[in-house]
Chain A
Amino acid sequence: NAGVMQNPRHLVRRRGQEARLRCSPMKGHSHVYWYRQLPEEGLKFMVYLQKENIIDESGMPKERFSAEFPKEGPSILRIQQVVRGDSAAYFCASSRAGTVNTEAFFGQGTRLTVV
């Protein structure tokens, strides 16, 4: 049973380009969470999605950032017109149900570098 799969593992973008980060949840999981980790810091919640629905995007910047979790395919975190401050590790987690009562498993992350 494969774990949470994220790709790419490393992504380099120039300022102003778009970054697309993908996350395939564990088999049987329909809840996806995106977190961002800056160097030397803990993870910060960004967005929580279920299939075809954004449940909570309170941690995601209002501009340039968007997320989706379509009926088919992986969840996508999209960052438009990237800036240097977007450089971070982006982690996706998935759970079978909302993590009120269940554990969320994390992927290996995508490390975004904006040059």
Chain B
Amino acid sequence: GENVGLHLPTLSVQEGDNSIINCAYSNSASDYFIWYKQESGKGPQFIIDIRSNMDKRQGQRVTVLLNKTVKHLSLQIAATQPGDSAVYFCAEKGPYDYKLSFGAGTTVTVRA
């Protein structure tokens, strides 16, 4: 967890706008990154992942960008909806590693 962090602890977004959640990591050996969504009282839910041989990956309404030069990861959510309100964590691990290191999380609140 100490190697992974998020720039902002909270983010307030207007419904329908795009959200960008940032994450900085310090372990240059990390080669696999995941974004998780955690709603209140629930466990982390996988959103999207990316490997270090890629710099962009898209899912349904979400895009993850990886900049290895500055060790930065971001999650973009298009057309943010009230159901997107949650805490978002980035997690990383190194090659041949099996345990994930989590950042502290960003709380996203969607305004109606």
Contact = CB atoms under 8 A, between A and B. Distances in A.
B26 to A, nearest CB: 14
Contacts of B104: 40-42
Contact of B44 (A31, A41, A43, A45): A43
A109 B98 contact: no
A95 B102 CA distance: 17
Interface residues of B, number: 25
B100 A45 contact: yes
Contacts of A91: 43-44
A109 B42 contact: yes
Given A56-B98, A59-B99, A98-B98, A44 B46 contact: no
A42 B42 contact: no
Residue among B4, B43, B44 with the highest chain A CB neighbour number at 10 A: B43
Contacts of A40: 104-105
Interface in A80-110: 91, 98-100, 103-109
A50 to B, nearest CB: 10
B44 A100 contact: no
Contact of B99 (A42, A48, A106, A108): A48
A45 B99 contact: yes
Contacts of A45: 99-101
Contacts of B4: 42
Interface of A: 4, 6, 31, 33, 35, 40-45, 48, 55-56, 59, 91, 98-100, 103-109
